[in-house]
Amino acid sequence: MTSTRISDALKAVEIPDGVRPSKPVPFEQTEEYRETLRRMRESSLRKAGLRGSYMSARSDVGERVCALIESGRGAYLWGEPGRGKTYAAAHAVRVAVERSKGTKPPAKLVSAKHLLDSIRDGFNGGDRDALRRAETVPLLALDDLGAERPTDWAIETLTGLIDARTAEGLPTIVTSNYSLGQLRELWGGMPGARIASRLGGACERIEVTGPDRRLR
């Protein structure tokens, strides 16, 4: 039987009333597609340093930080522990990730201590690109500044990092339990004064107040 005769035979088949061949569902409307998007989003957020509740962080202070980032300014968030400083920084990082359409990581949240440890390990055969990535990522959120040991090397490395990002016009979010004045005194001398001055020039200072979120 030729293909034409097969076609004619199929046309002759009577389809019962109320029965119609189902149309294929576009892949974009399937649960499989939605699950794929969810996994891709979570993977991107984890690469940006977000975990747990930080992956869905939303805060008013975070919205204010986003507006500063849009204008090319950084933010220095300071206040007592548990006030939501890191949560606000995570909000801004999440927004940067979700708005990104490129393949390059758009943002990174990392503690100052962890970053310094990674840079130091690079001298001993570890991650040699940690500093370069921190200098070039479009948005860097440096968490808990002041918790690290204020050695000359640490202060010099962090000052160089802020200088490099400022020179490239890349915004930086910094969180700390200390105001810039307190941080300057904590680190002491000219090195402390220098990095405090750099941060003051690159970032809008925002004191984060309110009740301790962790004790609610």
Amino acid identity for residue 64 in this structure: R
Please, which pLDDT band fits residue 213 given cuts at 50, 70 and 90?
confident
Structural element, H or E, at residue 111: strand 107-111
- Between the two ends of the chain, the Cα-to-Cα distance in Å is 78
Q: How many residues does the chain have?
A: 216
State how far the Cα of 1 lies from the Cα of 92, in Å rounded to an integer: 66
Tell me phi and psi for residue 85, to 5 degrees.
Answer: -65, -50
Between CA 58 and CA 147 the distance in angstroms is: 25
pLDDT, residue 188, reads: 84
Q: Kindly report the CA angle at 133 between 90 and 44, in degrees rounded to 5?
A: 45
**d(C-alpha 62, C-alpha 89), whole Å:** 6
How confident is residue 18, by pLDDT bands cut at 50, 70 and 90? low
pTM score > 0.75 for this model? yes
**What's the pLDDT score for residue 5?**
61
The per-residue pLDDT for 122 is 80
Confidence of residue 10 (pLDDT cuts 50, 70, 90): very low
Mean pLDDT of 172-182: 96
pLDDT score, position 192: 87
Dihedral of the CA atoms 171, 118, 52, 28 (nearest 10)? 70
pLDDT value at residue 63 = 97
Residues 135-154: tens digit of each pLDDT: 999 999 999 999 988 888 99
Give the alpha-carbon dihedral of 88, 89, 91, 96, to 10 degrees: 150
Closest by CA to 141, choosing from 197, 80, 57, 25, is 57
Q: Is 18 left (phi over 0), alpha (psi -120 to 50) or beta?
A: left
> Would you give the DSSP letter of residue 21?
P
Which CATH number fits the domain 33-215, given the four candidates 3.40.50.10540, 3.40.50.12780, 3.40.50.300, 3.30.565.10?
3.40.50.300
Identify the CA nearest to 97 among candidates 131, 54, 129, 144.
54
Where do the domains of the chain lie? 33-215
Confidence grade of residue 68 (pLDDT, cut at 50, 70, 90)? very high
Across the strands, what pairs with 142?
A: 110, 174
